[in-house]
Structure 1
């Protein structure tokens, strides 16, 4: 590894267009990262199944983080010193941070009588298409979750806060994303997974790593706050989230992948790569 920069990026609304899921506006910046040997870690709410196909389209060879920080996937050819026994699957080593999804589904079912929501496992691919705009194949892949259970929340914000407090004592948390409320283990967090992976790179290569994190939603706040270079990518559907404790946040002028590209290029200049 010849660089001290490590990119962590959200996907929907950030690297991928909020409406079309297109990333062509970011293609040149992605190519620049590859040419410079700078890892670009996908840090997303998407599933392992979704990312297998998306990584092919992106020609992505770096580690990735699934289901809002629930697990880190390391390609087996990337040897990182983690001092942990990781789970081997196909061409990856996996570091999980949360419980199995089956446990979360059981918990969601127990809450149905007191709160108004639709659990992800109850949706058909057709219903998910209607709710998200995904095509039918992508919707099927999205339903193949392993560590989290998204909810379509139809209840009040007050009820959501009440439920958050109830679940905290059980080591489970609710995290609000762009379209869903995500039910997950207490330690599942984009920021936690980012910190773990950054530390692994630093330890393996014995260098100081500068992290840049890019996201557009509330579930990206922790990741952005913790990054050395914090970037909020402007969204066409909501105002930029506030990043507590940071007065150095970059907020892009453009939306989605165009804004993402602008921020990456700015970071490469800022860090002396171009």
Structure 2
């Protein structure tokens, strides 16, 4: 039986809306999950894209490419796996006066580090300069946030995410000290648990995320989650050390 031809990829003008997620290329097409090309990275377009579960992802010398994968990788915060080694790391981090989690203290430094940090098996970055500036504008508009790991007054790791109400979309993370990005992710999980945010979007499957409890769900299930979660009031994007109690036993009071 002959295979169906690949549907044409929509090419968008800057003011064009994205096609519905169901129009994304399927598993037998050249790039499963690819939804459209072109368009613009302004704040309204980005918010509209995330509201329908889509996101931009492209490399240098490529047009803007929009994606809506099926299935979708998500991290249910109740299922976050705190392995023994990470638990010990968090306990040590929590006990030190010179270690802290900051939120939105230096968003530009975090996204710049994510864009420039060398990664295993990657020759380049998808956070091209236009993307970096677009997400900085999204941050200024209150829709993108950084969760940062600081040690002795130095930023050593972190992540950034997009948030619409209670819909949280993880984007990228970096580390220049052992486990610094995992500490930031654990802090984000603690913040989400405190505010009863159930899922962190991880976009696409990686073994690292799967080892921490992330799993794949259907695009339809993911879109139902986004539709409900984004209508809920945005939480306070700040980290209180008491949020560690959602992951670790409370520390004993000092005498």
TM-score of the superposed pair, with normalisation by structure 1: 0.26
Query: Could you say which structure has the higher helix fraction?
Result: 1
